[in-house]
Amino acid sequence: MIEQSFIDNLIIISYLVFTLILGLIFSINKELNSLDYFLASRNLKWYSVGVSLFASSISGTYLIALTGFEISLSFLTSHVELFAIIFLLILSIFFVPRYIKSSVFSTAEFLGKRFDKNSRIYVALFQILTNIFIKISLILFAGGLILKQVLDWDTYTITLVLVLLSGLYTVVGGLKAVVYTQIIQVVSIFCAVILLAFSGLHIVGWINGLIPLASLNSIIFLKPISLPLLPLAGLLLGMPVISFWYWVTDQTIIQKILAAKTINDAKKGTYFAIFLKILFISLITLIGLLILKFSLENKSDQPYSLIFSNEILPPGIKGIFIIGIFSLIMSSLSSIFNSTSSLLTMDFYRMAYPNSSQRKLVLIGRLSTTFTALLVILCVPLIKYLNSDNYRYIQNSLAILSSPVAALFILGFFFKKINSDGAIWGLIIGGGLGLLKITLDASVNYFALSNSFLSWIINVNFLYFTVFIFIISIISMLIVSNLNPIIETQELNLNRSDTWK
């Protein structure tokens, strides 16, 4: 932990106040309807879509990569994000037109139109639970690791402040407030990582200071996939499934696509997000090298304490870096709050009460956001109990449980013969196997298994098991759909020939 100067503290406090005021300014509007609140009136320009896609996708892995918590993850992030670029292109080419033409509020509703309410409820509930208990946990855990190194304020208190601020402007203004504050936050993020990269290079003697790491660098870059936790075949087979689920089906991402003004704006937004990702990956990789150098030379697991305690850095840079971390955390939190609210309101409440007024839907949306934020606040004290093993377990669980959803979207888009029975049974079978895997993984230290199949489930790498569940889910959907080839009259009645042809 390091101390901030008066200038650093002034920058940090000014940023927090400015973000709150900005979020509330964009929240001041005429009486909102559900389209305004959840999809920003479907009026987002391409640059807003691109920035929000980037800001919403900042995960715990990004933050972990910035901490030096695990050096390999700094470089793994660069490799994994290459899949993001590929699937953003796939999203733009194949899925954006169909999503926008469907005029839905969520990806779960999208499946409801394609199949029935059972698939819709499953996917909506899955996304709500993963948003609250997995994504937010990873973000707060990873953010806390950095804040402990660079901030002499109480980490618990500042985390609560970030959650409250993010929740406040999201509750009041909905997606519009989220997107426009994210634009400022992304600027802060890039300022922070650029300053960190160049400050670190200045300290080590620019590129010449990194030359001694060349051999080690090549080993890490070329062989992170040789680690037991990340086998090459697992990455090549499993990561496309996970990336497809996240970038093409997850509500936190697709909500910005659904809010685009036109199909062209949505497509350009994905391309702009790709550009931002490539730039950010380059900076993260450079920072990973700097962290590696500081860690090796000083034999320390807190490289930021070493970097920022160096007297070469002028006052203010620490403050700018800290507000960049705040921006990383807040941009992700606000996006998750709003997407969770849209799922709770539009996929549960509106489905139960279809005649609800627009004012009532917005009220339920705000109450849902408030509930989510309060639930997160109650969970904040538990974050301190997370460690590297818990982090991996939570992240692996998300990957495993997401594969049946990815399978359903692929078949639902490209195979007309998949019906609602096949859809729900594929989700149940795949999801059941996933729950079995994560339950056994959690209890492996408490009892021994004699059953060979259960032992295999425990010992198999999570990436291989993700592919296994993906295949089983597809087979289940195909078999059940062929055994009971019902006609999806719901699809015909909704006149979606453009959407599903």
Domain boundaries, the chain: 6-386, 388-501
Tokens of 203: 């300290």
Which residue is associated with the tokens 């936050």? Answer: 185
pLDDT at residue 494, as a whole number: 39
Per the listing, tokens 């590696």 go with: 292
C-beta separation of 470 from 404 below 8 A: yes
CATH of domain 6-386: 1.20.1730.10
pLDDT tens digit sequence for 18-67: 888 877 777 666 678 899 999 988 999 999 999 999 988 875 555 555 54
**186-234, pLDDT tens digit by residue?**
888 888 788 777 776 766 666 666 655 554 444 444 444 445 566 777 7
Q: What is the pLDDT of residue 378?
A: 84
**Residue pair 466/472 in contact by the 8 Å Cβ criterion:** no
Q: What is the model's pLDDT at position 69?
A: 46
pLDDT of residue 370: 92
Counting as low any pLDDT under 70, the low residues of the chain are 1-4, 27-30, 59-80, 149-150, 152, 200, 202-230, 288-314, 386-388, 445-450, 486-501
Chain Cα centroid distance, residue 445:
30
The separation between CA 361 and the C-alpha centre of its own chain, rounded to angstroms, equals 26
The whole-model pTM stands at: 0.86
Task: Look up residue 417 and give its two tokens.
Answer: 């013969």
